[in-house]
Amino acid sequence: MKEDKKNSPLFFSAGLYSAEALKLAAAVFSARGGVRLTAGKGGTEAVLSGGINPGEFANEALNQQCRIDLSARNSRLSGIIVTKALLSASGSSKKGGK
């Protein structure tokens, strides 16, 4: 896919955006165009193509980073509630529901 000439590559500092956040953001945008991530000194360079708005991509990267920050705090509790809901629905915690 041709890279958008008018968008210069974005550089995301490793101290502010984790590589995982950028990968997740790239996955979100995979249907809309191309995102090429290259690890560099102190961070990651992202080259966008297919008409992806760089501002939207940066927002999604921050969204994913904030989700990662939050999961460090809440993932256990969230997991318990979700598991409870799934097991109750499936009947795994009681009779029936085959």
Residue numbers of the site for another protein (CB under 8 A)?
A: 10, 13, 15-17, 27-29, 31-32, 53-56, 58-60, 62-63, 65-67, 69-71, 73-78, 80-82, 84-86, 88-92, 94, 96-98
Assess contact for 24 and 33: CB atoms under 8 A: no
Q: Partners of 13 in the beta sheet?
A: 43
Give the Cβ contact number of residue 95 at 10 Å: 6
Closest distance of CB 44 from another protein, Å? 13
Query: Alpha-carbon distance 8 to 64, whole Å?
Result: 22
Closest distance of CB 55 from another protein, Å? 3
Q: Partners of 44 in the beta sheet?
A: 12, 39
Residue with Cβ nearer another protein (29 or 44): 29
Residue with Cβ nearer another protein (38 or 59): 59
3-state secondary structure of 13: strand
Residue with Cβ nearer another protein (36 or 82): 82
